[in-house]
Copies of this chain bind each other. A is one copy, B any other.
Amino acid sequence: MPNKQGTTPAPASANRFERRRAHTRQALIAAARQILAETGETSASIQEIADRADVGFGSFYNHFDSKNDLFDAAVSDALEEYGQLLDLVTAEVDDPAAVVSASIRLSLRLAASHPEITQIVRLRGLAYIHAAEGLGPRALRDLEVGKASGRFAFADPLVALSAVGGSVVGLLQLHTVREVDAEAGEEMAELILRMLGVPADEAREIARRTLPELP
Contact = CB atoms under 8 A, between A and B. Distances in A.
Is chain A's binding surface mostly helix, strand, loop or mixed? Answer: helix
Contacts of A167: 162-163, 166-167, 170
B159 A188 contact: yes
Report which residue of A129, A156, A174, A191 has the largest number of chain B beta carbons within 10 angstroms of its beta carbon.
Answer: A191
Contacts of A169: 126, 166, 169-170
Contact of A191 (B165, B171, B184, B195): B195
A162 B170 contact: yes
Given A126-B170, A159-B171, 10 more contacts: A41-B42, A42-B43, A126-B169, A162-B188, A163-B188, A163-B192, A166-B170, A167-B170, A194-B197, A197-B200
Interface of A: 41-43, 123, 126-127, 129-130, 153-156, 158-171, 173-174, 177-178, 184, 187-188, 191-192, 194-197, 200
